[in-house]
Amino acid sequence: MRKQIAAANWKMNKTIEEGIALVKEIINADIKLNKNNEVLFSVPFPYLSTIKDLISSNGYMFVAAQNCHHKKNGAYTGEVSVEMLKSIGIEYCLVGHSERREYFAESNQVIAQKVDLCLELGITPVFCCGEPLEIRDLLSQNQYVSNQLNESLFHLSTEDIKKVIIAYEPIWAIGTGRTASSDQAQEMHAHIRSVLISKYSFEVAEDISILYGGSVKGANANELFSMQDVDGGLVGGASLVASEFIQVIQALK
């Protein structure tokens, strides 16, 4: 069975003191999970090592970076390379989050470069994809997401694509309080898996975790995660509240 994952994305929130308190509360909840479950904390760059040390004794918890640069190194003031992340033991990295696409004009081609660098250095990319409201209103979401996959992932070998986690995030349901219904989430996740089957194989597609990322919270996590092709969530606002994120974690299959 593929991994079922609760991934917290703190974005640009929390002081280090607040972050430590949040993670400690989650750890102290003594959540019972099975070997197929994972929890990721995608935290701001300054906190990566601190949070990593905090969870080091928890075998199902990991730290993820929220971004990386698409070049190996160089004169890119203020940027963080994949090599830097690797040097401090980071094992996961978000790539292509909708906010990076929208606010920083990251293209599918740039995101493909980030994916490649992560895989080259043994970091698991959490590849984000999803459509804006105008695309959903045109009923063109399947084609839109298929194009994102094609341009950013489908150059990968069979062995490499199996190392990628995919997060579907309908942009119209991020931070708006508006959530795709569980049926809408399942429909897109099933589409993504069908596209993976067409490009690779059924066996490969069945092993790839696809997370849902659109206003996931304690109240809807059970229903969303019960869908056949929804393998957990990429959680924004609810991951900043320990009691909420604990409920999300407990909802994992």
Residues assigned a catalytic role: 97, 169
φ, ψ of residue 3 to 5 degrees: the values are -60, 140
Cβ neighbours of residue 206 closer than 8 Å, sequence gap 6 or more: 2, 193
d(CA 143, CA 103): 23
For CA atoms 138, 146, 214, 207, the dihedral sign is positive
d(CA 145, CA 128): 10
129 and 154 in contact (C-beta within 8 Å)? no
In terms of C-beta density within 10 A (0-12 exposed, 13-18 middle, 19 or more buried), how is residue 228 classed?
exposed
d(CA 92, CA 31): 22
Cβ neighbours of residue 191 closer than 8 Å, sequence gap 6 or more: 142, 145, 146
Cβ neighbours of residue 113 closer than 8 Å, sequence gap 6 or more: 70, 71
Strand ranges (E), the chain:
4-9, 37-43, 61-65, 92-95, 124-129, 165-168, 210-212, 232-235
